[in-house]
Structure 1
Amino acid sequence: MLNYLTLIFICQLAGEAFVVAVGLPVPGPVMGMALLFAGLMIHGGIPEDLQKVGGALLANLSLLFVPAGTGIMVHLSLLTGDGIAVSVALVVSTVATIAVTGLLMQFLTARKGSAKSDAE
């Protein structure tokens, strides 16, 4: 399982390196997640041990937000001037995420349904 945890961190590092090298305005961990996803698509599935490692990380995800929450509380005075802009950005990004997720789910469900009907 340590190998898969290392794989996750290597993908994150590769994503950071790629973003810095190319200059993309995307967070490195997001690019690393895309690289991991591409590797899993090529592999054809998720290995069982990787599922266990990912599940353990997700089960303890709230612990990973403690440093960010602490930083917000410590530097709250820096955010007071930009509170409206941050709030608008949060609402817009949340609505956009829900919309994209819904559209993608509809597309993938329709695609899966058409693949089943083609097989019959």
Structure 2
Amino acid sequence: MKYVFQFLRILACCFLGEVLRGLLPLPIPASIYGLALLLAALKAGLVRLEQVKETAGFLLAVFPLLFVPGAAGIMELGPVLAASWLPVALAVALVTVLVMAAAGRVTQAVSRRKAARHG
């Protein structure tokens, strides 16, 4: 029963994300709103980590399976991608480098802030 309540807490944040997406005129997906709401609730102490930890861990474990349909769909686009493989490859490489750089910068900033706080 514990897992049901944990899932309901996560689902509530997802639902509120959908509500925000409908109310706010910003081009932000509802899932991002939901994640931000869950993070805010965790940081504010409205939700404790123990109240979502096991279910969140399970969802993260099965997360890669959600990409299988997308990968299968891309395989059907083989002839289309073959015609424009160079721009696609360049875009994927550029975006990969940008994401890695952004993730590295954020990690460094968080590490510095944490070290300064505990220094």
TM bin, normalised by shorter chain, reads 0.7 to 0.9
Q: Residues 42, 84 of structure 1: CA spacing in aligned structure 2 closer, same or farther, 3 A cutoff?
A: farther
Give 5+ residue unaligned stretches, structure 2.
none
Q: Hey, what does 1:3 align to over in structure 2?
A: 5
Change beyond 3 A, Cα 1:23–1:102: same
Separation of aligned partners in 2, 1:45 and 1:111: 24
Counterpart of 1:11 in structure 2: which amino acid?
A: C
User: What is the one-letter code of the residue matched to 2:50?
Assistant: E
The number of equivalent residue pairs is 116
TM-score (norm 2): 0.75
The separation in 2 between residues aligned to 1:100 and 1:52, in whole angstroms, is 29
1:29 paired residue number? 31
Residue equivalent to 2:74 = 72
The corresponding residue for 1:94 is 96
Confirm or deny: 8 A CA contact 2:41 2:47 kept in the other structure.
no
- Give the secondary structure class of the aligned counterpart of 1:102: helix
Distance 2:89 2:71 in 1: 16
Identity among equivalent pairs (%): 31
The amino acid that maps onto 1:43 is G
> 2:9·2:52 contact (CA, 8 Å) conserved in 1?
no
Q: Against the structure 1 CA distance between its residues 47 and 92, is the aligned structure 2 distance closer, same or farther, given a 3 Å change threshold?
A: same
Letter in 1 for 2:95: S
Task: Indicate the residue corresponding to 1:104 in structure 2.
Answer: 106
Q: When the two structures are superposed, what TM-score results if normalisation uses the length of structure 1? A: 0.75
**Backbone CA RMSD of aligned residues:** 2.6
2:12, 2:63 → 1: CA distance?
Answer: 19
1:113 corresponds to which of 109, 112, 115: 115
